[in-house]
């Protein structure tokens, strides 16, 4: 199979969607949600509302079937009317074990939300390449699978079948992946990084080559040729969209793979280095220390003690 940087990085970051709950509303309502460190996942099941992010002048209209990701650590207000004084979400969901709430008669609007858990060690690989707010509208062709997923989430939440929480989280995971896929296809505004490079048809071939064989001694002219560009044009373009020069990106990816192997495997350090293209253990150790600030053996010891999760 061809290299799949998208799947590899989601796996490396251990990105996992967790459904947290939601609410229904009827009549006039407004809720203020606090800023959180985690990426927040939102989906409108029925009705419509306004959302205004802290620091943004213009509000956004959310319609039934719309989904969004909030990657920025910002508070926000969701409301039927933004002129209303909002109640605090912390008070609305303060009951023990409470994950669903009802405002008014609950008949006009329904919403579910969750968050994305990331490995503290590698989570920035994903968090740093997302725009502050990502909104995929239900009417877009790329959102064609959203409605089925949302309908299944509603069904799991209403029927109380065995394993409902597990199934709901798996559905939320699929929804999260589809949101990222839709974002790639629509090529909306993106910070420089691997996600933008993957969406860029000129840079993506080089990205796939490096992910497909990270231990190979790739040369700049080889990568440029795969992208049908001159060496100079390719180097400048790749850095503009990926945020790093091509061979620097390759080295950084190798170090991420090395960290995972050192943390999760018992493979000898010399063998890890050889797999990633280093001729000797000392060459690998020197490169690893330059990038991470500590030698591989020290990293492995610390990781095994669990301090990397702190």
Task: Write the CATH number for 300.
Answer: 1.10.10.60
Instruction: Say if residue 72 is in the same domain as residue 182.
Output: yes
User: What angle, 0 to 180 degrees and rounded to 10, lies between the N-to-C axes of helices 296-304 and 281-292?
Assistant: 70
Instruction: Say if residue 170 is in the same domain as residue 26.
Output: yes
Instruction: Say if residue 115 is in the same domain as residue 212.
Output: no
Task: Write the CATH number for 69.
Answer: 2.60.120.10
pLDDT of amino acid 58: 92
Element (H, E) at 42: strand 39-46
- The secondary structure of residue 228, as a DSSP letter, is T
Range of the structural domain that residue 20 is part of: 5-186
Q: 186, 209, 235 — which closes off a domain?
A: 186
In a domain, 191, yes or no: no
pLDDT of amino acid 85: 96
Residue 308 has pLDDT above 50, yes or no: no
Instruction: Say if residue 224 is in the same domain as residue 301.
Output: yes
Q: 139, 165, 186 — which closes off a domain?
A: 186
Q: Percentage of the chain with pLDDT > 70?
A: 95
List C-alpha distances in Å: 75 to 83, 85, 122, 230, 290.
17, 15, 25, 45, 38
Q: Which range has the worst mean pLDDT, 9-23, 87-101, 227-241, 253-267?
A: 87-101
Instruction: Say if residue 148 is in the same domain as residue 202.
Output: no
Instruction: Say if residue 161 is in the same domain as residue 235.
Output: no
Q: 155, 186, 217 — which closes off a domain?
A: 186
Strand order across the 16-25 sheet: 100-103, 16-25, 109-117, 39-46, 67-70, 133-136
Residue 242 has pLDDT above 60, yes or no: yes
pLDDT of amino acid 188: 63
Instruction: Say if residue 147 is in the same domain as residue 25.
Output: yes
The structural domain count of the chain equals: 2
Instruction: Say if residue 90 is in the same domain as residue 157.
Output: yes
Residue 97 has pLDDT above 60, yes or no: no
């Amino acid at each position: 199979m061809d290299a799949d940087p998208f799947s590899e990085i989601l796996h490396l970051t251990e990105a996992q969607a967790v459904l947290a709950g939601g609410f229904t509303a009827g009549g006039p309502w407004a809720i203020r949600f606090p800023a959180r460190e985690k990426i927040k996942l939102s989906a409108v099941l029925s009705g419509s509302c306004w959302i205004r992010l802290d620091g943004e002048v213009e509000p956004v209209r959310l319609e039934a079937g719309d989904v969004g990701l909030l990657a920025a650590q910002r508070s926000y207000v969701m409301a039927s009317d933004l002129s209303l004084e909002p109640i605090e979400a912390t008070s609305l969901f303060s009951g023990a074990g409470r994950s669903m709430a009802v405002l008014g008669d609950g008949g006009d609007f329904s919403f579910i939300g969750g968050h994305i858990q990331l490995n503290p060690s590698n989570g920035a690989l994903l968090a740093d390449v997302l725009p502050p707010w990502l909104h995929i509208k239900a009417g877009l062709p790329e959102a064609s699978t959203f409605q089925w997923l949302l309908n299944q989430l509603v069904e799991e939440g209403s029927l109380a079948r065995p394993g409902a929480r597990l199934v709901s989280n798996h559905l939320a995971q699929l929804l999260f992946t589809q949101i990222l896929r839709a974002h790639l296809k629509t090529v909306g505004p993106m910070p420089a990084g691997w996600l933008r490079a993957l969406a860029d048809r000129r840079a993506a071939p080089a990205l796939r080559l490096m992910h497909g064989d990270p231990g190979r001694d790739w040369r700049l002219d080889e990568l440029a040729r795969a992208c049908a560009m001159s060496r100079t044009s390719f180097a400048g373009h790749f850095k503009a969209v990926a945020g790093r020069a091509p061979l620097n990106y390759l080295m950084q990816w190798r170090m991420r793979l090395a960290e995972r192997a050192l943390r999760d495997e018992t493979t000898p350090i010399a063998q890890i280095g050889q797999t990633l293209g280093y001729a000797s253990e000392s060459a690998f150790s020197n490169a690893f220390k330059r990038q991470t600030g500590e030698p591989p053996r020290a990293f492995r010891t610390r990781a095994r003690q669990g301090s990397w999760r702190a």
